[in-house]
Structures are given as C-alpha cells and as structure tokens.
Amino acid sequence: MSIRYRLPGLLADGRFHSGEELAKALGVSRAAIWKQLRKFDELGLEIHAVRGRGYRLAVPFEPLEVSVIQQHLSTSLSQRIEHLEVQREVDSTSDVLKRMPPPVAPQGINVCLAEWQSAGRGRRGRRWISPYGTNLYLSLACMLEDGVLQSGGLSLAVAVAVRRTLQKLGIDGLGLKWPNDIYLNGNKLAGILLDLSGESGGNYQVIIGIGINLRMPEGAGAEIDQPWSDLRHNKLQLQRNRLAGKLLDDLVKVIEIFSRQGLEAFAEEWQRYDIAAGLPVDLQTGQQESIRGVARGVDPHGALLIEQDGRIQTFHAGEISVRLAG
C-alpha cells in the first residue's frame, strides 16, 4: 500500500502525531509526509496541524478490514459470498462489481467496499460525495430472475433493509423517502442506486450500491446540493466494520424474502416509516413541469401514488424524483 493510504491509516485514531513519528513509521522523510498531508483535501480529509504537537485528522475513522467485516457476518451468508473486497480508492464500488464476472452460483454474492470513491453516483446522475474513511460505501451483486424484478419495488425493499440495520444498531429518528432514500430527522442520511444487466426473460445481475453518511467532514458536506444528515452527533459511534457486516446480513435476508413474496412483504413497514405519506409534495419528472399533489404511499409494485383533485396517479421509479413541499 502506498504512503497515500498508509498515512490516513496512521492518523485514523484522531490523535496528534508528530511529523517525525509519521516519517519514521512510513520510512520516508518529514518533507514527504508534509507533501502528502497537503494532498489530503483531494480525499475529502481535513487535517489539523499544531506547532509542537503535530498533525491529526479533524474526523477520525475506523479503517475497513475484510477480516473484521467477516466476523460480523452470519455463517450462512459467509458461505454464499464468492468475493468480498475492500479497496482504498475506486471510481465507485458498483463500477468495480460491474467489471467483475457475475456470481457463479445461483445464490452467490459479490461485495465491494471502499474507503474513497472518486466518482460515486447517486440517482439521476448526481454525484455521491465520498470523502475518505468517514462514511460507508458498499455495493453488492447478486443474480435475480427477470420475473422477480418485473414485480417492481426492489429499491424500496432495500431501503427497508438499511433502515432496519441502523435501527437495530441504536439509531432513532429514521424515515423512508420514495423511492430509495433513508432520512434522519428530516434530512438525507443514506441513498441507494440499483444497476441491472442481463437479458429479458432470463436472470439479471443486480448491483445494489449503498452510501451512508456516518461522519461527513464539513468541507465535503459543503459540496452536497441538498439537506443532508450524518451520525456525527449521535451518542452511538457506529463501528464501520460491524455496520457493514450487519447491513450485508439484513440486505441478503430482505432480497431473499423479496424474491419469494415481492414488495407485499414490506408494504406495511414502508408505510409506517414513509416520511411523505399524507403530505403535499412536488414531483419533478424531467419531462414536464413539477406536479403538485398529496402523497398517498406506494402501490404493490413500488410506484408512488399522488392525489390531485381527488384523483390518484401513479409514478414509477426511475421516472421522477420527489421532494417535500413547503
């Protein structure tokens, strides 16, 4: 591993470390350390330098490790994972899985996590801000039958899985926003992006990309173009490796149930945490002016229901975005 990534690992504890100490640990000069520290902003990291004390990260982090993540996986899931990797730097975790061969076994799974994404993607071409080490960037690839996907609503079921994991780890105030966002106290905490590849009538490789804001540095957060939230001020400081393992377990369980029962199995849970239900909303379809109405939940296929003048209309995933109207 190059000094570019070894150095953040040494500073991950959030304590002060002298330039001499860091240089000795990495076998380089103090000038080389200073040169790398000046490039930390490229990774979305903020560094504090204090004369006589050294350097420390503004936001400490727990480095991701495959062996530690595996400790938090159920035995049944561990047996199904064909490939699990942690990368220091990627374009996006989903793109890494796209370039890999799909899982071989029908129930096989590939997983990629990263400390930093240079080209993380959100919905409708938006950039997913992905500073080094402070959040969770995870993608999972699995094979699903065409008929399962045609039933609709997979992204909603995945959002339910993410909310479940966070709640079980002690996070309160979570809500769901159509079609696949998780909110914390009214602001976006996590997002989901699905990528499909395959042939109609056969099996598809489904790549599920998930980003969760844990301790977003202020500088990186300033680049986000919508209200956002993270867990920095939550009393529970989640361990990233534990979160990754528990999330994978819940995600695979939800996918298995969805494959057999469709969105119906999660309809009641989605409705319970739907932050838009019964509220005035504006919809942007990208094809016409915004549509105003009252959100009335989702249909059995995951389409958003909007009431206008007493008439219910449906809007499907991938066609519109929704935002709460003031």
Q: Each residue of 22-59: b (16+ CB within 10 Å) or e?
A: bbeebebeeebbeebbeebeebbbbeeeeeeebbbbeb
Q: Which residues pair with 193 in a beta bridge?
A: 209
pLDDT at 235: 64
Backbone angles phi, psi at 283, to 5 degrees: -115, 135
Of residues 69 and 216, more confidence is placed in 69
DSSP class of residue 151? T
DSSP string, 295-314: EEEE-TTSPEEEEETTEEEE
CATH number of 3-57: 1.10.10.10
Instruction: Please write the tens of the pLDDT for every residue from 11-60.
Output: 999 899 999 999 999 999 999 999 999 999 888 889 999 999 999 998 88
266, 269, 273, 277: CA torsion to nearest 10: 70
Q: Which residues pair with 113 in a beta bridge?
A: 86, 138
Average pLDDT value for the chain:
89
pLDDT at 322: 54
Q: In the structure, what pLDDT confidence band is assigned to residue 317 with cuts at 50, 70 and 90?
A: very low
Q: Where in the chain is the domain with CATH 2.30.30.100?
A: 276-324
**Mean pLDDT calculated for residue range 194-222:** 88
Whether 88 is catalytic is no
Whether 177 is catalytic is no
User: Going by C-beta distance under 8 Å and a sequence separation of 6 or more, which residues neighbour residue 312?
Assistant: 296, 305, 306
**CATH architecture designation of domain 276-324:** Roll (2.30)
How many alpha carbons lie under 13 Å from residue 224 in its C-beta half-sphere? 25
Instruction: Please write the tens of the pLDDT for every residue from 132-145.
Output: 998 999 999 999 99
Helix residue ranges, H only, the chain = 3-11, 19-26, 30-37, 66-71, 75-80, 93-99, 146-150, 154-168, 218-221, 240-261, 267-273
From the candidates 164, 188, 215, 240, give the one annotated as an active-site residue: 188
Q: Where in the chain is the domain with CATH 1.10.10.10?
A: 3-57
In angstroms, how far is the first alpha carbon of the chain from the final one? 49
pLDDT at 109 over 80: yes
Q: In the structure, what pLDDT confidence band is assigned to residue 323 with cuts at 50, 70 and 90?
A: low
pLDDT at 319: 43
Residues counted in the chain: 326
Instruction: Please write the tens of the pLDDT for every residue from 250-271.
Output: 999 999 999 999 999 999 999 9
Q: Where in the chain is the domain with CATH 3.30.930.10?
A: 66-271
pLDDT at 320: 52
Q: Could you tell me what percent of the chain has a pLDDT over 70?
A: 94
Looking at domain 66-271, its CATH class is alpha beta
pLDDT at 286: 67
Binding site residue list for biotin = 117, 121-123, 188
From the candidates 30, 56, 123, 253, give the one annotated as an active-site residue: 123
Backbone angles phi, psi at 197, to 5 degrees: -145, 135
Whether 188 is catalytic is yes
Of residues 201 and 187, more confidence is placed in 187
